[in-house]
Amino acid sequence: MTGKTVLIADDDSAIRTVLSQALSRAGYNVRSTATAAALWRWVSEGQGDAVVTDVVLPDENAFDVIPRIKKLRPALPIIVMSAKNTIMTAITAAERGAYDYLPKPFDLNALVQTVGRALEQSQRPAPVKSTQASETLPIVGRSPAMQDIYRIIARLTQTDLTVMIVGESGTGKELVARALHDYGRRRKGPFVAINMAAIPRELIESELFGHEKGAFTGATARMAGRFEQAEGGTLFLDEIGDMPLEAQTRLLRVLQQGEYTTVGGNTPIRTNVRIIAATHRDLRQLINQGTFREDLFYRLNVVPLRLPPLRERAEDIPDLVRHFLGQAVREGLPRKELSPRAVERLQAHRWPGNVRELENLLRRLVAIEIEDMIPDSAIERELTSVPSFSPQTGATDLSAAGLTEYMENYLAQYFTSFGSGLPPAGLYDRLLAEMEPPLLRAVLTATGGNQLRAAELLGINRNTLRVKLRDRNVKVVRGLS
């Protein structure tokens, strides 16, 4: 792509210099400016093969300039940079027609590669204009992990692709589903959610597809199902791993043929909904166990989206704290703040209940703490109300309470994290998935990687151990005996 010209707009002279040098080394001609006016003049004159611009410029916001550029030169790719790294920045960039969005600070090599890909693309589809000007953030966080999520969401809002959201309980799967709907093509249609784990298995087909009068005992009138309710909008299938096989077969037909029949009905009904599914479970493992259809998995898993647990993005906790404390004020609770040491204590916690657990903890503290500044001692009191294990403390906490009491207290806190509700079904499998890997690793470490001795120590046969190591993805580093 040598010989192509890249236009740079950023009011920071250091950033202009660094970008100019990197793109020049890659073989591009570069022109840089600090203002939107100069950028617009160059574009109007036909200069430039790609644009790299900051959002906030001294004379005009780039989001106001980009639509004019796209109207004048639709094929000109525009890459947006911003230090305001929120999901709304990513979505707005996509809506305005930007080729890509890069949060600051960015990786220079990644930016140069993005410019190269942009120049290979001759034309973008016309962007979908948003009717929403709100800066309300449905998802909070500025960590690299969340920036990746924002960029994917921004691209998916411009499509009707089926999305599979995977993540632990409390990571915000429904928030992502709502963002995909609220800022996507179907935002004027309904958003309908159904949790497979919260509905009796024998009623799921009726809930999804509706039923006719007299279809079964108690069906005294026709009932519209969730597909009918979501017509023209989005249907969010939460905890899809808990869907029974019979309902899976009917759902597969909808995805394949675009039609369904009500329970007790004979006439096929055409449907026009976008499907977003979510699960905390390993669907591939369920496929191996014969409880989830492989063909349905591939129909749903068109675009997989993994939400990181809170422990993998602890740097987002200060932003989340500000968000939830502000939300509490808007709901009529007293205004509170957290001391810096209190925030540090929150960042050190493992958060088995993820963002939902953090939100409930902050609500509780806002309600019960007298002082306006919540100290770290209050955080410590709440987080150590049950014993916890960490590499720093070793097994001291467990020896004080006993493993049985520890687990009872841990589960009590886990259930509390869901407020007045209950956790999704599948708790037994989730606990095994959390407990078995560290147990297997500890035993293998103690036996020097000798699987035969490890199996004897665990009280299981060697083949069972091998299956568990494979299913739990536990890597044996030493001694494959």
The pLDDT tens digits for 251-293 are 999 999 999 888 888 888 999 999 999 999 889 989 998 999 9
Please compute the mean of the pLDDT values over residues 290-297 and round it to a whole number: 93
Judged against a pLDDT cut of 70, whether residue 477 lies above it is answered with no
- Whether 481 has a pLDDT exceeding 60, the answer reads no
Q: What is the DSSP string of 170-204?
A: TS-HHHHHHHHHHTSTTTTS-EEEEEGGGS-GGGH
* The pLDDT of residue 346: 92
Which residue from 62, 2, 58, 61 is spatially nearest to 27, judged by alpha carbons?
Answer: 2
pTM above the 0.85 mark? Answer: no
Pinpoint the alpha helices (H) of 11-135: 13-25, 36-44, 62-72, 87-96, 108-120
For 380-399, what is the mean pLDDT?
52
Rounded distance between C-alpha atoms, residue 53 and residue 43, angstroms: 13
**Average pLDDT of the residues of the chain:** 83
Q: Is the pLDDT of residue 389 over 70?
A: no
349: pLDDT strictly greater than 70: yes
Return the C-alpha torsion angle 320, 325, 329, 335, nearest 10.
-150
Give the separation between CA 418 and CA 427, rounded to whole angstroms. 13
Residues forming beta bridges with residue 53, ordered by sequence position: 9, 80
Residue 392, pLDDT score:
36
CA 124 → CA 5, 93, 256, distances in Å? Answer: 19, 13, 28
- What's residue 2's pLDDT? 60
- Using a 10 angstrom Cβ sphere, with 0-12 exposed, 13-18 middle and 19 or more buried, the burial of residue 57 is buried
Tell me what the mean pLDDT of segment 176-190 comes to.
91
Rounded Cα distance, 126 and 324, in Å: 37
- Contact call for residues 151 and 158 (beta carbons, < 8 A): no
In degrees and rounded to multiples of 5, residue 29 shows phi and psi of -80, 140
Cβ burial of 243 (10 Å; 0-12, 13-18, 19+) is buried
Q: pLDDT band for 439, please (50, 70, 90 cuts).
A: confident
Q: 46-89 pLDDT, tens per residue?
A: 899 999 999 889 998 888 899 899 888 888 999 998 887 777 78
Residue 303 DSSP code:
E
pLDDT > 90 in the chain, percent: 29
Confidence of residue 404 (pLDDT cuts 50, 70, 90): low
Instruction: Report percent pLDDT > 70 for the chain.
Output: 87
Sheet containing strand 50-54, edge to edge, reads 29-33, 5-9, 50-54, 78-82, 100-103
Task: Dump pLDDT digits (tens) for 123-152.
Answer: 433 333 333 333 445 588 888 888 888 888
Return the pLDDT at 393. 36
Strands (E), 128-185: 163-166
Question: 3-class SS at 364?
Answer: helix
pLDDT-derived band at 458, boundaries 50, 70, 90: confident
DSSP 101-114: EEESS--HHHHHHH
b/e per residue 9-40 (b: at least 16 CB within 10 A): bbeeeebbeebbebbeebebebebbbebebbb
